Amino acid sequence: MTVNYVRLQGIVEAWDRTGVGDLPDEVALALDADPEFRVWFDTRLKPWTAVVEAVPPDLEQRFLRVRPQRSAGKPWRWAAVGAVAATALFAASGVVYVAVEEASHFHVSYADDFGPRVEGEYFTDFATVDRRALEESGLMAGLEEPFRDFVMTYNAAASGRAELVSDPTLWDRPFYEHVVASTLEQVQYKRFFRRLEDVKDTYAEVVDDLHAADLPEVFAGIPFRESAYLPDLQSNACAVGWWQLMPEVANRYGLKVKGCHLKDAEGTWEPASGDVVPPAGLFKNAVYISGGGQCRISRCDVDDRSNLGLSTAASITALKEVWADPVLRDSGALVQIALLSHNAGYDDARYGVAKKSNLLPAFKKFARSVPPSEVSNFYGATITCTNPDDMPKPELGEGGIDLTNNGPRGDEYCGSMLHAETQHYAYPIVARHMLAVCYYGQNHADMPAFAGWAKYTDSGHYCTQFNLPTPSDLR
């Protein structure tokens, strides 16, 4: 049985919050089939020891005194289980008091000590926002510091809107909520932290290059999203390397992609000197992609996309084009727009290929539809698909006529200006970088690229909310 962690953990969280009814059958089956899921479940729902003690004189005897076994100061929450009906809850001197009626058993716990529990994945492609769960986690307030430092400080400086730093109510809330939800999801996975450990030297090199280019450090999360920092990874679209650059995009920025051997074909292919934009209708019209939607390139005799220094320099050049755009600088959303541009492109109309999903035309269209005070909400407003593969099918009328004009594959935009994949591209990058700062700041602050991150692991800063592993924990 293949366990969908994201789906099942969401079911468990919802069941735990309500505390009503038996464990859902789907979860019970997964517990029997998957030991890792069982470990996560047992850790997540392990009740804390509760002792009925003498209560303060001003409290009635029906109050139970529960001394949690976790460190004081952690955010806490409660879940009534079985016959318990909780009528009051508050904290005093590190002790939680719960008023119960007709109590037979109960479950009181602090919120999760956020940290890796299951092997999981290098990264997750998307997160589902459950506002109640986010508020209960305590991270909606707890992650304001890194979001401000790694995103909003740069947005404010570029737009000249200093209030974007100091007033979180002005932030793009859906974007921020997705970042927090993605952080909650990603922090569970040991494989993510193990990969951070494995790529610390290359992550540091990219951070140093971004510092030299005067660009935000959060952009170092792009290669992790694209390739998990694997140099030779090739996608179905024939994007290759650390930054997953297409052959034509690499060619645009001076990288050599030469002598590419196509499967089941003689001879080689390479982009011509004027090929600087992937062809429209890529999976239909690119010679290097098969009719089945697979990359036909088996290898290239020369491919600079697998060279970290060269591919990073090319990607920085592309990001600086976005960074210099006066319209986008004024948006108050420059960081997230630059991140999105690595997926959907900046403005291919410069090369004679107009694409509505490029970030400059998409943003301009959005800006025309809202008051100037709301243009900084561009990204969050365009997250309308529930996941990167969400493509609502066409509504067919009499005779099979497509009433919605969604096409046979469905609406790949879900009514947004950005493709479903692009909608869920940037916020996980921000979330992972926040965690990378914590992991490297704790374990590798001796490396110059990470020295400035050690402060975030000090008392009072955001990294202390997480149970961060050490390198030895990950062996």
Q: How many residues does the chain have?
A: 475
Is residue 142 in a domain? no
pTM: 0.76
Is residue 443 in a domain? no
**pLDDT (tens digit per residue) in 98-157:** 333 333 333 333 334 688 988 888 778 889 999 988 888 889 999 999 999 999 999 999
Is residue 162 in a domain? no
Q: How far apart are CA 392 and CA 31, in angstroms?
A: 32
Res 405: pLDDT: 42
Res 393: pLDDT: 55
Res 12: pLDDT: 67
CA atoms within 13 Å, Cβ hemisphere of 160: 4
| Low-confidence residues of the chain: pLDDT under 50 | 1, 19-20, 46-112, 396, 400-409
Rounded to 5 degrees, φ, ψ at 468 are: -80, 135
Is residue 106 in a domain? yes
* Local structure of residue 174 (DSSP, 8 states): H
Tokens of 412: 């790949």
Res 369: pLDDT: 96
Residue 91's contacts (CB-CB under 8 Å, 6 or more residues apart) are: 76, 97
State which of 309, 325, 355 marks the end of a domain. 309
Res 253: pLDDT: 97
Res 28: pLDDT: 74
Spell out the alpha helix ranges (H) of 213-281.
221-227, 247-252
Neighbours of 65 (CB within 10 A): 17
Q: What is the DSSP string of 351-366?
A: GT---TTSHHHHHHHH
As to burial, measured by CB atoms within 10 angstroms (0-12 exposed, 13-18 middle, 19+ buried), residue 313 is middle
Res 95: pLDDT: 36
Q: How far apart are CA 171 and CA 163, in angstroms?
A: 10
Q: How far apart are CA 455 and CA 449, in angstroms?
A: 13
State which of 110, 133, 151 marks the end of a domain. 110
Parallel/antiparallel/unpaired status of strands 85-92 and 95-101: antiparallel
Single-letter residue type at 22: D
CB 248 within 8 A of CB 285: no
Is residue 214 in a domain? no
Res 281: pLDDT: 85
Nearest alpha-carbon partner for 83 in 143, 169, 21, 136: 21
Is residue 127 in a domain? no
State which of 110, 138, 166 marks the end of a domain. 110
Is residue 336 in a domain? no
Nearest alpha-carbon partner for 415 in 372, 381, 454: 381
What is the total count of domains within the chain? 2
Measured CA to CA in angstroms, residue 196 lies from 174, 240, 456 at distances of 27, 20, 17
* Domain with 303 in it: 232-309
Is residue 283 in a domain? yes
CA angle (234, 282, 354) in 5-degree steps:
120
Residue 72's contacts (CB-CB under 8 Å, 6 or more residues apart) are: 94
Res 83: pLDDT: 27
